Amino acid sequence: MGYLYLSSPLVKVIVCFTLPLILLFGFVSFNGGLNPNPLFSSSKTSSGVNSREKHQVSAEDLRLKIEEGIIAEKASVVTEESVLSTPSDHVATIQAANNSSVFALATNGSSMTLKDMTPNSTDIIVTTLNETHTPPMRKVELEKVVTDLDKLEIGLQKARAGIKEAKFTNRTYDDPDFKPVGPMYWNSNAFHRSYLEMEKRFKVFVYEEGETPLFHNGPCKSIYSTEGNFIHLMEINNQFRTKNQDKAHVFFLPFSVTMMVHYVYLRDSRDFGPIKHTVRDYISVVSSKYPYWNRSLGADHFMLSCHDWGPEASHSVPYLSKNSIRVLCNANTSEGFKPRKDISLPEINLRTGDIQGFVGGPSPSRRSILGFFAGGLHGPIRPILLEHWGNNNDEDLKIYNYLPKGISYYDMLKNSKFCICPSGYEVASPRIVEAIYTGCVPVLISDHYVPPFSDVLNWKSFSIEVSVKDIPNLKIILSSISTKKYLKMYRRVLQVRRHFEVHSPPKRYDFFHMILHSVWLRRLNVHVHDHQEL
């Protein structure tokens, strides 16, 4: 009976449909259920399944690893390199960094996603490479930010390279005004290139703090006239002066020591305290208001003074004398003047405020006097000179303490072949420039003196140096100079004269520009770093 029931047509149909379904569900259950992600299921092999089961990591475990920094550390390496490599490079890097894990990399355009291979898992975005998204792991600085100071230093480095190239080549440069050539220059090509680089790049910031007459002012009609002239010309200059501190290579401290001596110093007191307090207070003001003094400890700042007490004033602030560029008439190496850092300022006695009437003189054939000097018995050298040669009615050497009445000082200069320039109380003397103005070959008698612009000019080619011990032999020394040599020196004096002339407005290669060029050269020796950014 039961057999007939099972063999009935209805039972057979039920058995044929239900048995395959039972077998199918059993097989699926045995293999871990249906895989909802057909992307990976189509490529699985038996070996792949075994490997996956061996290294299987759940999505939650993966998140824990990322939070603990295990994955993040590897991904950050890729983030740093992402700008320089292609998406395919990142695929290789990420897969190599994580070859022991059970997540795969999927790419879509320029983005990358880590996909957990575990069933029912959620994809985790590790990083993106497109230009509109920032990598979530860590932001990386791709380029160093170039500051204004960096740009200045890069420009100076280019200038140094150009000057060095000119120094060792015979290349010349077109210049409509002047072309420095001849033995008066240590290296005319290097000087010319340096000067042109200065005109192209150099910028000076003048501090505006301070009131006249101690600041922004100075004498223009005295033996200290270079002090006042430079301050005035610098402040009205449009080519080199900049109002933007961040564009400046150097910073000018526009105080006048000569004016301080006149207005602050108590006459005959020998008390430098008031002058030093004034300078110290000024440095305190500019260093607290601006960051530039503290940034370089004064190394890219300069002061200028033609007064004998200029060096003393610079000692008011240690870094002013130690680091800053000091432009001084009193360029005495025995008193701390450093030629590599400091600048010898020409002492020019502009009695009327300009050079009209003081420049020029007759030809060498009309100069009948061998050597000439007239001046007070200042310092230790002049008494020795006067003792041996003073007022002795020598036909060749005209050496006076004070000129006889009716004799013009400048006429004597213009009619002399050699002009004696001994030091006074300090090493500098206005007679050096007076000799050059009048075409008279300077005879320098001084100890420890650095002549003006001597980093560019070869003074031995157009002047005579006589030591103090050789003063008794002065006439023999000058007489022994041949006519040929003298004529060469005379012509060279005329050629370098333009570098000492004072003009308003300034002319290229003149006194004003040569001082700036000397400052420019010192700035090339300095590398300023912004300590705030280190």
CB–CB of 90/78 below 8 Å? yes
> Do 377 and 340 fall into the same domain?
no
Token pair belonging to 210: 């301070």
Q: How confident is the model at residue 170 (pLDDT cuts 50, 70, 90)?
A: confident
Looking up tokens 């004003």, which residue turns up?
A: 512
Q: What is the pLDDT of residue 27?
A: 53
> Do 327 and 385 fall into the same domain?
no
22 domain residue, yes or no: no
At 350-399, the pLDDT tens digits run: 988 889 889 999 999 999 999 999 998 989 999 999 999 997 788 899 99
CB–CB of 343/325 below 8 Å? yes
Q: What is the mean pLDDT of residues 199-227?
A: 96
For residue 69, pLDDT over 50 is answered with no
The phi-psi region of residue 215 (left if phi > 0; otherwise alpha if psi is between -120 and 50; otherwise beta) is beta
% of the chain exceeding 90 in pLDDT: 66
Alpha-carbon span 298 to 320, nearest angstrom? 6
Q: Which residues pair with 372 in a beta bridge?
A: 398, 419
453 domain residue, yes or no: yes
Q: How confident is the model at residue 116 (pLDDT cuts 50, 70, 90)?
A: very low
Alpha-carbon span 99 to 497, nearest angstrom? 80
DSSP structure string for 347-358:
----SSSS-TTT
H-type alpha helices, 31-145: 38-41, 46-54, 59-68, 70-81, 87-97
CB–CB of 483/418 below 8 Å? no
Nearest-10 Cα torsion for 73, 78, 83, 89: 180
Q: What is the largest CA-CA distance in the chain?
A: 170
Alpha-carbon span 439 to 441, nearest angstrom? 7
Q: What is the pLDDT of residue 21?
A: 61
Among residues 289, 317, 349, the one where a domain terminates is 349
Q: Which residues contact 239 (CB under 8 A, 6 or more apart)?
A: 199
Residue 464's domain spans which residues? Answer: 369-500
Amino acid identity at 108 = N
406 domain residue, yes or no: yes
Which strands make up the sheet holding 369-374, listed edge to edge? 397-400, 369-374, 416-422, 441-445, 464-465
CB–CB of 401/374 below 8 Å? yes
Q: Which residues contact 81 (CB under 8 A, 6 or more apart)?
A: 89, 93
Looking up tokens 């310092």, which residue turns up?
A: 379
End-to-end CA distance of the chain: 102
Please report which helix (H) or strand (E) contains residue 225, including its range.
helix 225-235
329 domain residue, yes or no: yes
> Do 391 and 452 fall into the same domain?
yes
9 domain residue, yes or no: no
CATH of the domain at 389: 3.40.50.2000
> Do 343 and 375 fall into the same domain?
no
Query: Who has greater pLDDT, 400 or 99?
Result: 400
At 311-356, the pLDDT tens digits run: 999 999 999 999 999 999 999 999 999 999 999 999 999 988 889 8
> Do 311 and 427 fall into the same domain?
no
> Do 278 and 317 fall into the same domain?
yes
For residue 96, pLDDT over 50 is answered with no
CB–CB of 124/116 below 8 Å? yes
85 domain residue, yes or no: no
| Structural domain count of the chain | 2
The phi and psi torsions of 371 (rounded to 5 degrees) equal -145, 145
Alpha-carbon span 510 to 501, nearest angstrom? 6
Q: Shortest CA distance to 458 belongs to which of 495, 510, 428?
A: 495
Q: How confident is the model at residue 19 (pLDDT cuts 50, 70, 90)?
A: low
At 278-293, the pLDDT tens digits run: 999 999 999 999 999 9
Q: What is the pLDDT of residue 263?
A: 97
159 domain residue, yes or no: no
Q: Radius of gyration of the chain from Cα atoms?
A: 42
397 domain residue, yes or no: yes
- Report pTM: 0.73
Alpha-carbon span 75 to 222, nearest angstrom? 74
Q: Among 16-25, 61-70, 243-252, 515-524, name the one with the lowest average pLDDT.
A: 61-70
Q: What is the mean pLDDT of residues 460-468?
A: 97
> Do 208 and 335 fall into the same domain?
yes
For residue 505, pLDDT over 50 is answered with yes
DSSP class of residue 216 equals S
The phi-psi region of residue 391 (left if phi > 0; otherwise alpha if psi is between -120 and 50; otherwise beta) is left
Determine the 3-state secondary structure of 128 from DSSP.
strand
> Do 341 and 394 fall into the same domain?
no
HEC-encoded secondary structure of 99-116: CCCCEEEEEECCEEEEEE
> Do 335 and 234 fall into the same domain?
yes
Mean pLDDT of the chain: 81
> Do 388 and 445 fall into the same domain?
yes
Q: How confident is the model at residue 191 (pLDDT cuts 50, 70, 90)?
A: very high
> Do 312 and 399 fall into the same domain?
no
Q: What is the pLDDT of residue 73?
A: 37
Q: What is the pLDDT of residue 26?
A: 56
Looking up tokens 């005329």, which residue turns up?
A: 494
Q: What is the mean pLDDT of residues 156-180?
A: 92
Q: What is the pLDDT of residue 354?
A: 86
Q: Which residues pair with 112 in a beta bridge?
A: 107, 127
Instruction: Tell me the torsion sign for CA atoms 214, 216, 222, 224.
Output: positive
> Do 312 and 224 fall into the same domain?
yes
